[in-house]
Amino acid sequence: MYLVTADEMREMDRQTIESFGLPGRILMENAGRGATRILLNRFDHLCDFDVGVVAGRGNNGGDGFVIARYLTQKGIPVAVYLLGKKDQVKGDAEANLKLLEPLNINVIELENAGQFKDQKSSMSQHNLWVDAIFGTGLNSDVRGYFRDVIEFINQSNKPVLSVDIPSGLNADTGQPCGISVRAHATATFGFAKLGHMTCPGVSYTGNLDIVDIGIPPHIVKIVNPLQILLTPEVISKKLVPRAPDAHKGDTGHLLVIAGSTGKTGAAAMTAASAVRAGAGLVTIGVPKQLNPIMETLVVESMTWPLPDTPEGLLDESSFEEIMDLLSGKQALAIGPGIGMTEGIKSLVHRILQEISVPLVIDADGLNALAGHADILKKSGAPIILTPHPGEMARLVDTTSREIQQDRIGSARHFSRRFNVHLVLKGARTVIAHPDGTVFINPTGNSGMASGGMGDVLTGMIAGFLAQGYAPESAAHLGVYLHGSGADYLARKKGPVGFLASEVMNRIPEEIRRIANRNWKLETG
């Protein structure tokens, strides 16, 4: 499912009007009619409502005028509040505004804060709002009485349908432009926008419906949106059925470099999650002093004691043995719980420059790259990085807040610049690829905010890599199934308190559930 930026949607509209020849007024009519249908479906007994339409002076307001017309024709009481003067409305919006007069639809002009204040009492009588103030082009903070109107709508505690996007929400980042309408439902046109599907935009959007306004498929291909939502349909097509006569030598051997004193669990969880994802063999390389402990923690995985420091940490002295261990392996996972010392930094840097198999870098492996991200350009191997916002901020020398303000832009820029696949974890995980494509993951929940979840994800992605999946597919499968497993546990056990190990143990069932869409699985 494509997700579009404001510019991409604008270009699709332009080409549909100019090259395909479908007039803008028809697009507006399709939009308003479709939004009305959604309004009728979403809100039961709408005929009992008194609807207020708050409209801006642009095309978003024009969509609102169409909605007001259709509601009136169905006998539903409507009043339109225009934030400006009628003579300021132009183009297709003006044409639809003029159609309201023969239907005796009351249009109240609110040119300033004083006029808005005078109307607040009558506005409070409406029991449902249609928000048609701003469209997807807004990219600066909402100010003046426009802000007051949005505050009024939010504080009214009345149901709200937003037209295309909640007014005040940035269509590309999902961040409020100072303030945003909090909609119960949103009817968007053509395609979902990035801001609908990223946090915090998800919570402002409410229930999202997409209205087909007539954008031809060939124009979609020309514009070629670079953002895609991961869905069960997308994920199921990435899973490859295993041959009936496959054996463990055919299904990949993963090397995991992880663990330090007090953090052996990270290594064990990473390895076990790779096995749960289907990897045939997993070997864990750990500091020599910790190997006896590691052997008691894992059953299915093998362990290998690596040269270590007196403190039980890996350093560059482990490099040659790690490279020997990589012989015959199909992938490497490095970072969970290995610690943060100069020796670790040197080890990670050297491995990156000489490794030839795909690798996943997480946790302390990422911290070893802080201030040294350019070393990624020296690697000839496919690389997947899995930072949370704090780790991402350290990679690019900024703050977590700055990363969160534009998660998609931050991930895409880094991925392109350093030629890596980047999994920016968090609510609505962002997966960016070197070619500029970005995938948004809708699965997962706040119950995952507990220790070990990142280790499970690292193991899953690396496990798929070891089986021969391309880095793109490995990242998509790992992230989506990791989140869907947690969603299952949240439904069955409760919103918090389930364990990372429980998510890990859920992986095979999540694979089965998705695989059933395309595979003919034997059932007994």
pLDDT in tens, 485-508: 999 999 999 999 999 999 999 999
Q: What mean pLDDT is predicted for residues 162-175?
A: 97
| Residues whose CB is less than 8 angstroms from the CB of residue 18 and which lie 6 or more positions away in sequence, other chains included | none
Question: Kind of pairing, strands 430-432 and 421-424?
Answer: antiparallel
pLDDT at 102: 97
Name the band, by pLDDT with cuts 50, 70 and 90, for residue 522.
Answer: very low
DSSP at 198: S
Please answer whether residues 463 and 278 qualify as being in contact, where contact means their C-beta atoms are separated by less than 8 angstroms.
yes
Percent of the chain with pLDDT over 70: 99
pLDDT in tens, 231-280: 999 999 999 999 999 999 999 999 999 999 999 999 999 999 999 999 99
The architecture (CATH level 2) of 2-225 comes to: 3-Layer(aba) Sandwich (3.40)
In 231-315, where do the E strands start and end? 253-257, 281-287, 302-306
| Phi and psi at residue 233, to the nearest 5° | -65, -45
- Does domain 232-515 fall into CATH 3.40.1190.20? yes
Name the band, by pLDDT with cuts 50, 70 and 90, for residue 523.
Answer: very low
- DSSP secondary structure letters along 72-125: HHTT--EEEEESS-GGG--HHHHHHHHTTGGGT-EEEE--SHHHHHHHHHHHTT
| 3-state SS, residue 53 | strand
pLDDT in tens, 442-462: 999 999 999 999 999 999 999
pLDDT in tens, 277-333: 999 999 999 999 999 999 999 999 999 999 999 999 999 999 999 999 999 999 999
pLDDT at 368: 97
Q: What mean pLDDT is predicted for residues 65-80?
A: 97
pLDDT at 285: 98
Measured between alpha carbons, how far is 432 from 409 in angstroms, rounded to an integer? Answer: 9
Measured between alpha carbons, how far is 270 from 458 in angstroms, rounded to an integer? Answer: 6
pLDDT at 524: 29
All CATH 3.40.1190.20 domain ranges in the chain, comma separated: 232-515
pLDDT of 518 > 80? The answer is: no
Measured between alpha carbons, how far is 197 from 180 in angstroms, rounded to an integer? Answer: 15
pLDDT at 521: 43
Name the band, by pLDDT with cuts 50, 70 and 90, for residue 519.
Answer: low
pLDDT in tens, 52-67: 999 999 999 999 999 9
Percent of the chain with pLDDT over 90: 96
pLDDT of 164 > 60? The answer is: yes
All CATH 3.40.50.10260 domain ranges in the chain, comma separated: 2-225
Q: What are 104's two structure tokens?
A: 């005796």
Measured between alpha carbons, how far is 41 from 84 in angstroms, rounded to an integer? Answer: 31
pLDDT of 161 > 80? The answer is: yes
pLDDT of 4 > 50? The answer is: yes
pLDDT of 517 > 90? The answer is: no
